[in-house]
Structure 1
């Protein structure tokens, strides 16, 4: 009987693990390809021209840049890493990382559909994402100094001799493959942990804890972290909790999940300085929680 239950749990965990991987892989591949393109085709001079020098303006600019990029949280870390290596300030890079997976048209439209063709939840989600990213970006701008990356920060200057377009495309693919294997291990470990937690911690247990306004927001934030869903799909899961949780708790789920989940956290820890990751985690958690209490 026990062996049968364990076997069933293992198969369930395996199914969840594979489904998370299948859901995340296309966006990781898209992310590393974009990172490769940035590496080969975007110069430090281009970045210097478009990025405002004022930290506040840079954070605002980067926060709303996410509207132009349909990037999932699964693939945005390598993009931000390349942007920072090209000279984008870390506070602007993190602001883009937090809004990119939320305020892009694909995610907002899926949120609109998931909540019965109602724009209100999509608006609350976009507003929350913008507020959180701006606050986190400004906190980093004024509190964090030093190399934000684990590796030594250096300029990726290539040979002064002009490189043909064909060679640039080949090197773009080489960089993308290298980045994929670098990020892939964190994706696999994060997906496995998320699958284990989903299998062995019942959702009903979390629901029973979240009865008050504050506790329900915290429970939904914890659930978003555990489930580790892609931002293109999480609205459909969130909408299923409408009869169980308050609007504020559901907004917390929709804003917090794409910013912080298990696989994304592991990717950040494998890329950025630990102190920087701690500032991001703590500030995102506090601001999302307070924002959810406004409803």
Structure 2
């Protein structure tokens, strides 16, 4: 968000004043300092104080993992060529799907960053089934997400294993389904057009890609983290605890509600575990569904898929992914639980 304000005398432009989001943030902080007494009085309401505590706790716990995730994502986008994976992936699509799923463990990235990476893999000649498997696995089974899940659920280590199995199974099953029934005609031609490599000073260009990718992912994912923390705080304050207790008593309904909530909230995979853990009244299985479905498909991913691969692809890929992720999460929960 950038505004450009020009100060002119006659027809000659004297100087330009750029007001960016950083200046806006500083102005908000200054206003908060001057109005701290009134803000303190406003937050003296018990409900607001509880909501503020939940919001700050989620943001503080999740932010280090979010920053680490976007730094790794930026490094992969800038310094890891798609040709590396083309050399290690088997020729057979079915075998390539399993290797691509495991590659998501070694090459982590957020959901948004995985979409252009999958596109570049296709351009470099990787089978679409393997590229889509990597797209689903990278943001869901990487070490950053698993460690964040372990921190969010310190008393339930089984959640880490269940999330890994459910998410990995989702990626592999979707890859195998595409290898069997997918059609390249569903992907628009522009998605498979050759992408330009950094020109000129390649090293400097890659550092520029790293900085820009990390900055963009941090701003985008940070916004979703704040939104998720606000919604989580609101759920803890505005929604009566009896509702969650009633929902906990209807496991099927709780699973469906959390699956839909994962799609609507569109949280970053590095932060969603802390939001799920804050809903203490719900049992672990609906929370597991929330953690498996969210990184696989949500509203922002649907928009990215439609914009990158075409609407014909998105309207087929999204509902199937939702069903597969839901089923895999339930199976993982039953097996581990």
Among 272, 284, 293, the alignment partner of 2:321 is 284
> How many equivalent residue pairs?
271
Among 156, 173, 194, the alignment partner of 1:135 is 173
Aligned CA distance change for structure 1 residues 144 and 271 (closer, same or farther; 3 Å): same
* Residues 49-198 of structure 1 mapped to structure 2, 5 A cutoff: 49-146=87-184, 148-149=187-188, 151=190, 153-156=192-195, 167-173=201-207, 187=220, 198=231
Tell me the CA shift for residue 34 of structure 1. Answer: 2.7
Contact 2:296 2:325 (8 Å CA) reproduced: no
The answer to which of 202-211 and 218-227 deviates more is 202-211
Residue segments in structure 1 that go unaligned for 5+ positions in a row: 1-7
Encode CA deviations 1:121-148: one digit per residue, 9 max, x unaligned.
1000000011111111111112222253
TM-score by length of 1: 0.73
How far apart are the structure 2 equivalents of 1:149 and 1:31? Answer: 25
Q: Which structure: larger Rg?
A: 2
TM-score by length of 2: 0.65
Encode CA deviations 1:82-114: one digit per residue, 9 max, x unaligned.
222212222111111111112111211221122
Tell me the CA shift for residue 52 of structure 1. Answer: 0.8
How far apart are the structure 2 equivalents of 1:172 and 1:93? Answer: 22
Residue segments in structure 2 that go unaligned for 5+ positions in a row: 1-47
Tell me the CA shift for residue 223 of structure 1. Answer: 1.7
How far apart are the structure 1 equivalents of 2:149 and 2:212? Answer: 33
